Structure formats: C-alpha cells, structure tokens
Amino acid sequence: MATITAFDAKTRFGELLERVARGEEIVITRHDKVVARIVPEGQPSLAKIQAAVTGLQALRTKIRTRSRGLKPLTDADVRSAIAEGRR
C-alpha cells in the first residue's frame, strides 16, 4: 500500500489510476493525515469483510445455543433428510 500526498496525487492522477488498475491500493494524505484511499473496483472492503465475519460468528453461537442437548447429526441422518426433501 503506497502513501502519497494530495498535491502529488493531483499532479500524477493518471499514473495512480494505472497503479490501482493493476491491483495496488493508494492512500492519500494531507498534512500527514490520511484523507482518502483509492482501491481497485470490485474488491471487498475491510469493513464488509469484518461485518460478514461478525455475522458468521453470531450465527455459529446461535446454532450452538439451539443445538445444546441434541445429539450431533450423522452422515446417515443428513442423507435421510435430503432424501425426504426430494419426495
């Protein structure tokens, strides 16, 4: 991840777009503080990934809570349920 000043970003914008198109992430700073980030289109953002992981962890906890006291499913149980659903 490259860091560049706002002035340099303004003067070298075309070059920065080429770098981003190749997959690089560019951070733009103004007075040594991050003000923007240029990322390739289509890549998931870190916030979305973190939200998905949090959701999956909550789902795992919910499933674990609901299945307390029940015996684990066997392969035969799963196959039987699949066959039952196909009827």
User: Domain count of the chain?
Assistant: 2
State the Rg of the chain over Cα: 24
How does 12-37 read in b/e, with b if 16+ C-beta sit within 10 Å?
A: eeeebeebbeeeeebebeeeeeeeee
Residue range 12-21, pLDDT digits in tens: 999 999 999 9
Residue 35: per-residue pLDDT = 96
What is the domain-level CATH number for residue 20? 3.40.1620
Q: Does residue 83 have a pLDDT over 80?
A: yes
Q: Does residue 4 have a pLDDT over 90?
A: yes
Residue 34 sits in the same domain as residue 6: yes
What's the pLDDT band for 1 if we cut at 50, 70, 90? confident
Question: Is the pTM above the cut of 0.85?
Answer: no
Residue 54 sits in the same domain as residue 33: no
Residue 50 sits in the same domain as residue 80: yes
Residue 45: per-residue pLDDT = 74
Q: Which domain holds residue 6?
A: 2-38
Residue 15 sits in the same domain as residue 31: yes
> 73 Cβ partners below 8 Å, 6+ apart?
none
Cα angle for residues 63, 46, 50 (degrees, 5° grid): 15
Residue range 23-80, pLDDT digits in tens: 899 999 999 999 999 998 886 777 888 999 999 999 999 988 888 888 888 999 999 9
Residue 34 sits in the same domain as residue 55: no
